């Protein structure tokens, strides 16, 4: 047993910092504003005021300015002379994000079907079983978490690095939107059937089918997102 004399100064008296708190304030502000924009809480072409945003978030204008500059590089806002910062995210932009995500996810599924290993097959099957149980009992929070786990497991099985990094920029759902989607029993049943089909194609090494059903799933769920955020009914 380690004696008191051999302990490092302060050891055992303070807890390690949770890694979640290691991100900068700018990152927190950027994530908060990005989520709000992608959830449709700001209207397209709406002018946003840095000082008002700072007051609402309880921060200075410095992290607001930094976050807005980052959002501008992503194309979600635009700074115009004498007009200030305008929201550029709209239904058309969202459609492009959905289609980009569908293309990336479908290719990742294609490669996962070729590269998946035995232990990963079991993990994917277990996730689908848990999804079926959560769907049957209507547990929205579990479904939200399991949906993310399902796609992460496919990314792992695909051995993709470049594509997985690219897809990070196509994440546009936040918790509130997911909760609305997963509160609809019909939507949950559709999602379960699609996830089951995707898993089956990957497990059976049917790369073409895995690619097709994954793309169809992402596009259809994207249409649901558009209907919620923009009340858009047209097909993509």
Domain co-membership, 200 together with 101 = yes
Domain co-membership, 44 together with 117 = no
Q: Which domain CATH number covers 156?
A: 1.20.120.530
Residue 235 included in any domain: no
Q: In whole angstroms, what is the distance from residue 214 CA to residue 194 CA? A: 8
Query: What mean pLDDT, rounded, does the chain reach?
Result: 86
Residue 236 included in any domain: no
- Domain tally for the chain? 2
Alpha helices in 88-206 (DSSP H): 91-115, 118-137, 140-158, 162-167, 175-182, 185-203
Give pLDDT, residue 3. Answer: 55
Domain co-membership, 45 together with 57 = yes
Give pLDDT, residue 232. Answer: 59
Give pLDDT, residue 9. Answer: 47
Domain co-membership, 43 together with 70 = yes
Tell which residue, 166, 163, 59, has the closest CA to residue 111. Answer: 163
> Roughly how many angstroms between the first and final C-alpha of the chain, as a whole number?
64
Query: What pLDDT digit, counting tens, does each position of 37-73 carry?
Result: 988 889 999 999 999 999 999 999 999 999 999 999 9
Tell which residue, 178, 218, 172, has the closest CA to residue 76. Answer: 172
Domain co-membership, 70 together with 154 = no
Residue 193, φ and ψ in degrees, nearest 5: -60, -40
Cβ–Cβ contacts within 10 Å for residue 159, how many? 14
Domain co-membership, 79 together with 100 = no
Domain co-membership, 46 together with 64 = yes
Residue of higher predicted confidence among 156 and 41? 156
Domain co-membership, 77 together with 157 = no
Give pLDDT, residue 10. Answer: 44
Give pLDDT, residue 20. Answer: 54
Give pLDDT, residue 19. Answer: 55
Averaged pLDDT, 67-88? 92
Tell which residue, 234, 225, 149, has the closest CA to residue 180. Answer: 225
Counting residues of the chain whose pLDDT is more than 70, the rounded percentage is 84
Q: Give the lowest-confidence range in 24-28, 110-114, 118-122, 180-184.
A: 180-184
Alpha helices in 1-117 (DSSP H): 25-38, 50-57, 61-73, 91-115
Query: What pLDDT digit, counting tens, does each position of 98-140 carry?
Result: 899 999 999 999 999 999 999 999 999 999 999 999 999 988 8
Domain co-membership, 82 together with 162 = no
Give pLDDT, residue 160. Answer: 94
Give pLDDT, residue 35. Answer: 85
Domain co-membership, 83 together with 135 = no
Averaged pLDDT, 203-219? 97
Domain co-membership, 198 together with 223 = yes
Domain co-membership, 125 together with 199 = yes
Residue 14 included in any domain: no
For 193, the domain range is 91-229
Predicted confidence (pLDDT) at residue 210 exceeds the cutoff of 50: yes
Give pLDDT, residue 17. Answer: 47
Q: In whole angstroms, what is the distance from residue 189 CA to residue 138 CA? A: 10
Tell me the pTM.
0.78
């Amino acid at each position: 047993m380690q004696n008191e004399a051999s302990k490092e100064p302060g050891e055992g008296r303070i807890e390690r910092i949770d890694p979640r708190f290691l991100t900068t304030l700018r990152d927190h502000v950027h994530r908060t504003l990005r989520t709000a924009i992608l959830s449709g809480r700001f209207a397209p072409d709406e002018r946003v005021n840095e000082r008002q945003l700072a007051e609402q978030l309880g921060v200075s204008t410095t992290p607001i300015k930094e976050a807005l500059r980052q959002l501008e590089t992503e194309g979600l806002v635009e700074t115009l002379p004498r007009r200030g910062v305008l929201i550029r995210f709209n239904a058309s932009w969202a459609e492009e994000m959905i289609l980009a995500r569908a293309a990336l996810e479908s290719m990742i599924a294609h490669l996962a079907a070729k590269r998946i290993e035995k232990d990963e097959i079991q993990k994917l099957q277990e996730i689908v079983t848990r999804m079926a149980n959560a769907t049957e009992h209507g547990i929205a929070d579990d479904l939200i978490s399991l949906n993310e786990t399902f796609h992460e497991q496919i990314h792992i099985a695909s051995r993709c690095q470049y594509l997985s990094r690219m897809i990070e920029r196509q994440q546009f759902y936040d918790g509130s939107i997911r909760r609305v989607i997963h509160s609809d029993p019909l939507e949950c049943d559709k999602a379960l059937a699609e996830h089951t089909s995707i898993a089956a194609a990957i497990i059976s090494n049917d790369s073409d089918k895995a690619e097709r059903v994954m793309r169809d799933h992402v596009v259809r769920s994207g249409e649901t997102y558009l209907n919620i955020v923009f009340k858009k009914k047209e097909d993509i």
